[in-house]
Structure 1
């Protein structure tokens, strides 16, 4: 697929700020430029960026209803009421449940947790769970990562004597549930300074407020930050502001002293002894936790995260690793089937959106399939299947198209929906399927321009291969944690050539292993270009080419080297000589 390269221009002001920052702090000018591009222009801002401080977390009582939530929890604990911690079945929900349960179990013996069944109960708060709470004598439910739209469910709970404290981070409607407290920084009336917390992050802020109100030292919360870091990375929320502070200290906990449960996952992922980054959570740790809710029941993931000994953690981690293998096979099968449907669309080039439906597809993996199709076709995609009496689906988007708003515009024909700009879920009755497809496709046709359907690679700056060394890598590592809105820097180098040893690798020779030099005398530098073997002939003919990439460390047999993770290759436009 052809990519547009968007090389960020450098203004005179940025160059001036870069040089000043480099001189003041003794930084590599490349790193200084990356900081300036991220809005970090003073030495004080840079020091805070490199050393996120827990003391800079916001006062949790700035969040609407926080005082009400804390008062109700204190009352429940004081009266020895039965409390249920309720959460969604994905990584964000299960880490949130584990965090709140883990902290509160020290203060109550009348506490339990509940994860709804993806297939029997669906997303969010269910009537079944409320009936269960009543049968158990539970009078307070703390819902995490869900509940912001559960107006009818909370009303039903109120009728049955069950109070709700809702901790959520999804977009609310104009009307909020009649809960005791609704904690969501995205509320229209919220003055909370940071609106992008994960669901687990909202749960953490609730526990922070509870601790403050009871003079419990903040240090007792710090061991829970590993769970917040896993949720932030897995839920793809911005790694800026408060999230960056939480993720930084959570990753430190995860690397230095992980809990038994996360240590078990680290071991089965093959990450033991390695420096765990956000990308490791996104691609290895998170998918395994998610696999429990996708293939079986998310409660097993919470059981793992709450493990009190290594033996139990290892057994549960191995189970979850098997679920993940099953998930991968199913994901590939359904993706292939979805691609086959799309290939039959005769005017696909003219289509600005994709909706595919098969009633037999496994509900637990359609979100992953939607992500893969969106990436492949560069179009907003909705993948639908049947679940009980309804059609249910997951949607993923492309930059610049708000898929939540597109789905919200169809709310009159939907049974349920929720999400945010780039990812959403929905359910509808079969008789409304064609109307939904027509309206969604009309919205996409109206709002998406041709340029949005060509994938774009945003490049921070152009550098020479001779700029790449261990010092640059060490400085880049100081920018961790990296992720949404604080992305891993992407570099471009122009007019490079094969050093003579580049070759195709992989089971089907689908990848390119590169060894490169450039016209400035830089190199040789090693790189890997996954799925780009079609460039092999051009490269081996000693033609000049440009490439863009991220810079990473590659460890093999205890030997660590620098490696370019190539994102794209194109023939060089610079003339010979």
Structure 2
């Protein structure tokens, strides 16, 4: 007899949670239930194989969230497949020996660093040509065909182009002899898999879902495939101008903005595709201090702020906003802030931290 679906698979739901989030699956319906239960299993730390990875990523001893899986756990595991050695991740997840798990974790982290290096080199090469592609499609999509891109990082590059242009992005690279592969990342209302289905007669295989898709094909069909993709894009309506509006879930009066608010935020876990983290909003906070943090990507400095609101003072991070200090706000400025609330762990100390999405002076809001 097969085990009960409700309880017989409980011990592997931590892997289900990691896989579902890593594959950018929509966090709704049964996916949401499975990941919610899987997070509970993951936080019990019963899987020996994951202990070295959790330790290396500074997650041991903290309450692991879906965001932690997205940013800290899944990238090293995914790197194994992207670098052409998926067996390393598989061996790690199946390992019952702590020593072996440590060696395999070290190997995964090394591959992830190499993937990041290759990704940065590829990004610097494709960014200049991506603008021409974006314009040639009427700002509907970015299509990059680069024979120098490693097959394993096409998805990473497509995702980065998606964030940069706020438009669907496809990256095509050589695969094994005589073949090509492509990774597509998209945003609403564009549906990645549905788009690829228009060209299934040219593809060896394809798959995916609304947000991500991929395919393989014979290299000889590349020219025809690109032509038909551009023809299909020509038939599509121009997208509406991307909105810069921030959707706020709740504006909090000072009396409600207390450390207990994290319980509300975590009640709606797990977050992910189709269930983004709550965006909270406060009005009339005072900036008490500003610290600049270096940006290793070369853009404006990041900021670490202290915000006074009601009875509490809140540490807050504001990415790539150093150029706004002295121009739009400074120490002492009264501001309205849209943010996400999360836990921060530093030197074994836990605190709550705001990650600012947008900030405006109270006078201009």
Work out whether 1:559 is the aligned partner of 2:313: no
Alignment partner of 1:568 out of 352, 358, 361: 358
Q: Give the number of aligned pairs.
A: 360
Q: Which residue of 2 aligns with 1:102?
A: none
How far 1:342 moved relative to its partner?
1.7
Q: Which residue of 2 aligns with 1:362?
A: 150
Work out whether 1:514 is the aligned partner of 2:302: no
Q: What SS is found at the alignment partner of 1:548?
A: strand
Alignment partner of 1:392 out of 172, 178, 181: 181
How far 1:529 moved relative to its partner?
0.7
How far 1:343 moved relative to its partner?
3.9
Deviations 1:139-180 (A, max 9, x none): xxxxxxxxxxxxxxxxxxxxxxxxxxxxxxxxxxxxxxxxxx
How far 1:496 moved relative to its partner?
4.0
Alignment partner of 1:419 out of 184, 208, 216: 208
How far 1:298 moved relative to its partner?
1.0
Work out whether 1:336 is the aligned partner of 2:128: no
Q: Provide the rounded CA distance (Å) in 2 between the counterparts of 1:353 and 1:392.
A: 18
Q: Report the structure, 1 or 2, having the larger helix content.
A: 1
Q: What SS is found at the alignment partner of 1:339?
A: helix
Q: Which residue of 2 aligns with 1:498?
A: 287
Change beyond 3 A, Cα 1:444–1:523: farther
Of 316-325 and 473-482, deviating more is 473-482
Work out whether 1:227 is the aligned partner of 2:15: yes
Q: What SS is found at the alignment partner of 2:140?
A: coil
Q: Provide the rounded CA distance (Å) in 1 between the counterparts of 2:104 and 2:242.
A: 42
Q: Which residue of 2 aligns with 1:27?
A: none
Q: Provide the rounded CA distance (Å) in 2 between the counterparts of 1:224 and 1:502.
A: 44
Change beyond 3 A, Cα 1:310–1:346: closer
Change beyond 3 A, Cα 1:464–1:503: farther
How far 1:442 moved relative to its partner?
4.1
Of 504-513 and 246-255, deviating more is 504-513
Deviations 1:38-64 (A, max 9, x none): xxxxxxxxxxxxxxxxxxxxxxxxxxx
**Residues 353 and 445 in structure 1, CA contact (< 8 A), matched pair in contact too:** no
**Residues 528 and 566 in structure 1, CA contact (< 8 A), matched pair in contact too:** yes
Q: Which residue of 2 aligns with 1:240?
A: 28
Which residues of structure 2 form unaligned runs of 5+?
Answer: none
Alignment partner of 1:540 out of 311, 319, 330: 330
How far 1:270 moved relative to its partner?
1.9
Change beyond 3 A, Cα 1:346–1:311: closer
Work out whether 1:253 is the aligned partner of 2:44: no
Q: Which residue of 2 aligns with 1:119?
A: none
How far 1:425 moved relative to its partner?
0.8
Q: Which residue of 2 aligns with 1:549?
A: 339
Change beyond 3 A, Cα 1:465–1:295: farther
How far 1:507 moved relative to its partner?
5.0
Q: Which residue of 1 aligns with 2:193?
A: 404
Q: Which residue of 1 aligns with 2:264?
A: 475
Work out whether 1:311 is the aligned partner of 2:103: no
Change beyond 3 A, Cα 1:392–1:361: same
Of 521-530 and 360-369, deviating more is 521-530
Q: Provide the rounded CA distance (Å) in 2 between the counterparts of 1:542 and 1:435.
A: 60
**Residues 555 and 561 in structure 1, CA contact (< 8 A), matched pair in contact too:** yes
**Residues 339 and 355 in structure 2, CA contact (< 8 A), matched pair in contact too:** yes
Alignment partner of 2:3 out of 202, 211, 214: 211
**Residues 404 and 423 in structure 1, CA contact (< 8 A), matched pair in contact too:** yes
Q: Provide the rounded CA distance (Å) in 2 between the counterparts of 1:510 and 1:357.
A: 33
Q: Provide the rounded CA distance (Å) in 1 between the counterparts of 2:338 and 2:136.
A: 29
Change beyond 3 A, Cα 1:344–1:300: same
Alignment partner of 1:327 out of 115, 121, 126: 115
Change beyond 3 A, Cα 1:494–1:363: same
Q: Which residue of 2 aligns with 1:283?
A: 71
Change beyond 3 A, Cα 1:302–1:458: same
**Residues 491 and 550 in structure 1, CA contact (< 8 A), matched pair in contact too:** yes
How far 1:498 moved relative to its partner?
2.1
**Residues 466 and 523 in structure 1, CA contact (< 8 A), matched pair in contact too:** no
Q: Which residue of 1 aligns with 2:319?
A: 530
TM-score of the two chains, using structure 2 as the length reference: 0.88
Change beyond 3 A, Cα 1:264–1:561: closer
**Residues 459 and 548 in structure 1, CA contact (< 8 A), matched pair in contact too:** yes
Deviations 1:489-509 (A, max 9, x none): 11123454422x123222566
Q: What SS is found at the alignment partner of 1:503?
A: strand
Which residues of structure 1 form unaligned runs of 5+?
Answer: 1-208
